[in-house]
Structure 1
């Protein structure tokens, strides 16, 4: 299908847009997919583990069939964001099928919590490849199509780990500080092409990303990932003449932020 932006949605209405969400199989990624689909966005939930993405797609289909959402649509794909060829092929298929790609949400992330003298080079590389190189690779291939189409929006999910540091998280901090820098760089670079780039700096959330690794964590200090997903919708709803380069979303009792 030829790439086109015929009948584009109005700026305040997300209905009909095509969005790729990485790490869409669980946690915040799944919630972003749900929130976008609720607004009538056609979502492609991408995850390293296909079964996770399929669960997200099934949950959206169930809500839509039950009348809870006006028009929830979601496709599930397996995607390794560190594999440039796989990303290029996936984005090419999306554009060929749907005619465009309006939104990319770079959400996929991993973490290894270990002191520097225990952290292996392989672990360091896995975190940096997923959290920083992955968004670069996905953005690079998406931008090729967005430039031709005349616009688009890239949303990078950062973290308070991109602003402050705590012990035993060197790889995660390096990746998220880098992602925030990449996001602001792309914001400056891509504005002339009508492509918006936003970073959502999220505080701690009640998701498996934290809860599975820290079962004793005080969940009252965390926030519902749905609240962060609403911030993604907020930046996407801005008028064409306005872009939000960065927004921070914290729980009221965030322990890593004053």
Structure 2
């Protein structure tokens, strides 16, 4: 499993176009390139994972990563899912009976602030 993604923190009208281009290149085109390169070696399904702000626009971004401006870091009360819990949920989704596909799944803590 390979996970990579970036964002461009700030309001839409404050983030330079080149920064948005880089986000699209890494998050969308980079994901597609990795999947395409792996396809000849795969015998099964491909699962891609994104953060919830990848599905819902959040004004002025959402805090996730270390090493960035304090206003873009999770607060002390942030409740984020543990990677092993997300992985277990993906395994559950993939383990459904034949003919029963889970095509899209949102996994987030009940207190996730970036999801309604």
Q: What is the aligned partner in structure 1 of residue 64 from structure 2?
A: 210
Structure exhibiting the larger radius of gyration computed from Cα positions? 1
Q: What is the aligned partner in structure 2 of residue 77 from structure 1?
A: none
Question: Quick check: 1:168 aligned with 2:60?
Answer: yes
Q: What is the aligned partner in structure 2 of residue 250 from structure 1?
A: 108
Q: What is the aligned partner in structure 1 of residue 34 from structure 2?
A: 138
Q: How many residues align?
A: 112
Higher-strand-fraction structure: 1
Is the Cα contact below 8 Å between 1:221 and 1:255 reproduced in 2? no
Q: What is the aligned partner in structure 1 of residue 85 from structure 2?
A: 227
* Corresponding residue SS for 1:155: coil
**What is the rounded CA distance, in whole Å, between the counterparts of 1:215 and 1:257 in structure 2?**
17
Structure 2, unaligned runs of 5 or more = none
Match of 1:237 among 91, 95, 115: 95
Is the Cα contact below 8 Å between 2:5 and 2:27 reproduced in 1? yes
Higher-helix-fraction structure: 1
Once the two structures are superposed, the pairs formed by residues 71-220 of structure 1 within 5 Å of their partners are 107-143=3-39, 145=40, 151-169=43-61, 210-212=64-66, 213=68, 214-215=72-73, 217-220=75-78
Is the Cα contact below 8 Å between 2:79 and 2:112 reproduced in 1? yes
Q: C-alpha root-mean-square deviation of aligned residues, in Å?
A: 2.7
Q: Which runs of 4+ in 1 moved over 4 A?
A: none
Change (3 A) 1:142 1:216: closer
Is the Cα contact below 8 Å between 2:64 and 2:74 reproduced in 1? no
User: When the two structures are superposed, what TM-score results if normalisation uses the length of structure 1?
Assistant: 0.38
* Corresponding residue SS for 1:252: coil
**What is the rounded CA distance, in whole Å, between the counterparts of 1:137 and 1:223 in structure 2?**
27
Relative contact order higher in (CA < 8 Å, ≥ 6 apart): 2
**What is the rounded CA distance, in whole Å, between the counterparts of 1:155 and 1:136 in structure 2?**
12
